[in-house]
Amino acid sequence: MRSAPVVEETATLDAQYMGHCLELAARAKGCTAPNPLVGCVIVAEGRVIGEGFHPKAGEPHAEVFALRSVSESDRPLLSKATLYVNLEPCNHYGRTPPCTEAIIAAGIPKVVVGMIDPNPQVAGAGVERLRSAGIEVTVGVREAECQRLNEAFVHRVRYQRPFGILKYAMTLDGKIASSAGHSLWVSGEAARAMVHQLRSECDAVIVGGNTVRLDNPLLTSRHERNPLRVVMSRTLDLPSDASLWETTTAPTLVITAAAPQHPLIPQLQARGVEVVHLESLTPTTVMAQLYQRGMMTVLWECGGSLAAAAIAEGMVQKVWAFIAPKIIGGSNAPAPVADLGLTKMNEALCLEDVSWQTVGEDILVVGYLPSRSPAPSPQ
């Protein structure tokens, strides 16, 4: 009975240090694809003696940065330290050597892990290796938050597709533009600043040709880090002077089914735009192309028809919907999602894990589509 307060205290400290790992990991949001977001903290005698995070693929892992950060004078404390990390330490040779060996070599006796790595090359083998070396390992501290932080990495590993987020801003009467096609601006400044932040945390942002023709968007983050801007255009019937063809701030990729002889192609290429031809241009084939390029999180900022196709093909996992308290009306004004072929209200896609918050004068609703698995890819 006397040990209960000690157990409670350990659990509280474990949760606290895992929170620190999550904060460290989140610093690299948008920079690590195809790798996960990982933070690591080393604690001895009640204080943090080392910490680090994984900054980008090809760089050392969080555990190695944390071990390297321990000062010479604190090194003797490693033999009684606890290492906290939000993702199971790796036990394989990838771009970098296994972290399990670095932890074992450092003589650390205890490791606390947030979640098991879904990567089949790891998948529990890291924890097993540490235990076989006599290290005490606890798994599952703040696991839900660890899973949430790395939802895109988990999805990518599990389905060999990037994680899709559909973002839109609509009026209270469900329109993303007026019936004349005017949409600047549906949401307020605070919401738009939040979208810029979201773009900086995504690897790519996708629009269709219609959005380029009607809105002429920039799709940059206004931050240091910009996503790849992707235009899906079946016919390449696009303006030759669109803002997206300015590629000094951010790269642009046009994916099209149009013939390679189309006259716009050399014009785009001359401005630094990459053009890729796909015989079958669908949300699935485009996401497969982005997966091959190592992308993890893709933002759909498209109009209703493309959004409906992306949802129908299982290429959207999460929805960010800004709702502006204004009414524009118009029976032909576009809605965020076009026809899904659903005719009864009980067929509606009900979002899960829904949360909402006010953002300036608008409301942001975030939730997950019920089936998080994409449709099987065409062979």
Ligand X SMILES: Nc1nc(O)c(N)c(N[C@@H]2O[C@H](COP(=O)(O)O)[C@@H](O)[C@H]2O)n1
- The residues that touch ligand X, with contacts defined as CB under 6 A, are 35-36, 38, 54, 57, 61-63, 85, 87-90, 94-96, 99, 117, 119, 122
CB of 301 to ligand X, least distance (A): 27
CB of 96 to Zn ion, least distance (A): 6
Which partner in ligand X, Zn ion, none is near 57 (CB below 5 to 8 A by kind)? ligand X
- Sheet architecture: strand order including 352-359: 274-277, 252-256, 228-233, 204-208, 297-300, 163-171, 318-324, 362-368, 352-359
Q: How far is CA 10 from CA 21, 63, 116, 140, 322, in A?
A: 16, 21, 21, 14, 41
Residue 63 among the catalytic residues:
yes
CB of 105 to Zn ion, least distance (A): 13
Q: Please classify residue 190 by burial: count the beta carbons closer than 10 Å to its beta carbon, then call 0-12 exposed, 13-18 middle and 19+ buried.
A: middle
Query: Please, which residue, 124 or 325, has the CB nearer to ligand X?
Result: 124
CB of 106 to ligand X, least distance (A): 15
Please indicate if the annotation marks 308 as binding a ligand.
Answer: yes
Amino acid type, 156:
R
CB of 122 to ligand X, least distance (A): 5
Please indicate if the annotation marks 169 as binding a ligand.
Answer: yes
**CA-based R_g, the chain, Å:** 23
Amino acid type, 195:
V
Q: Which of 51, 63, 88, 313 is catalytic?
A: 63
Which partner in ligand X, Zn ion, none is near 122 (CB below 5 to 8 A by kind)? ligand X
For the record, the structure tokens of 325 come out as: 């308290």
Which partner in ligand X, Zn ion, none is near 119 (CB below 5 to 8 A by kind)? ligand X
Query: Please, which residue, 99 or 295, has the CB nearer to ligand X?
Result: 99
42 within 8 A of 83, measured Cβ to Cβ: yes
Angle value at C-alpha 296, between 295 and 298, nearest 5 degrees: 85
Answer yes or no whether residue 104 interacts with Zn ion by CB under 5 A.
no
Among 99, 104, 125, 288, binds Zn ion (CB under 5 A): 99
Query: Please, which residue, 116 or 254, has the CB nearer to Zn ion?
Result: 116
* Span of 72-80, 95-103, 138-146, 320-328 interacting with Zn ion by CB under 5 A: 95-103
Query: Please, which residue, 36 or 164, has the CB nearer to ligand X?
Result: 36
Amino acid type, 247:
T
The 3-state secondary structure of 257-315 reads: CCCCCCCHHHHHHHCCCEEEECCCCCHHHHHHHHHHCCCCEEEECCCHHHHHHHHHCCC
173 within 8 A of 329, measured Cβ to Cβ: yes
Query: Please, which residue, 99 or 302, has the CB nearer to Zn ion?
Result: 99
Please indicate if the annotation marks 306 as binding a ligand.
Answer: yes
Please indicate if the annotation marks 320 as binding a ligand.
Answer: no
CB proximity list for 373: less than 8 A, separation 6 or greater: 158, 159, 314
CB of 264 to ligand X, least distance (A): 38
Query: Please, which residue, 125 or 290, has the CB nearer to ligand X?
Result: 125
Answer yes or no whether residue 61 interacts with Zn ion by CB under 5 A.
yes
Query: Please, which residue, 61 or 229, has the CB nearer to ligand X?
Result: 61
Please indicate if the annotation marks 309 as binding a ligand.
Answer: yes
Assign residue 174 a region (left: φ > 0; alpha: ψ between -120 and 50; beta: otherwise). left
CA 103/CA 127 separation, integer angstroms: 11
Give residues 39-58 in contact with Zn ion (rule: CB under 5 A). none
- Residues in binding contact with Zn ion, number by CB under 5 A: 3
- Per DSSP, helices labelled H in the chain are 4-26, 62-69, 99-106, 125-132, 143-149, 151-159, 189-200, 209-215, 264-270, 283-292, 304-312
- Residue pointed to by tokens 């982005």: 290
Please indicate if the annotation marks 242 as binding a ligand.
Answer: no
CB of 123 to ligand X, least distance (A): 9
Q: Kindly report the length of the chain.
A: 379
Which partner in ligand X, Zn ion, none is near 265 (CB below 5 to 8 A by kind)? none
Three-state SS at 73 = helix
Which residues sit in the known binding site? 61, 90, 99, 169, 183, 185, 199, 211, 215, 219, 222, 301, 303-309
Footprint of Zn ion (CB under 5 A): 61, 90, 99
Residues known to be catalytic:
63
Give binding residues for NADP(+) as ranges: 169, 185, 199, 211, 215, 303-309
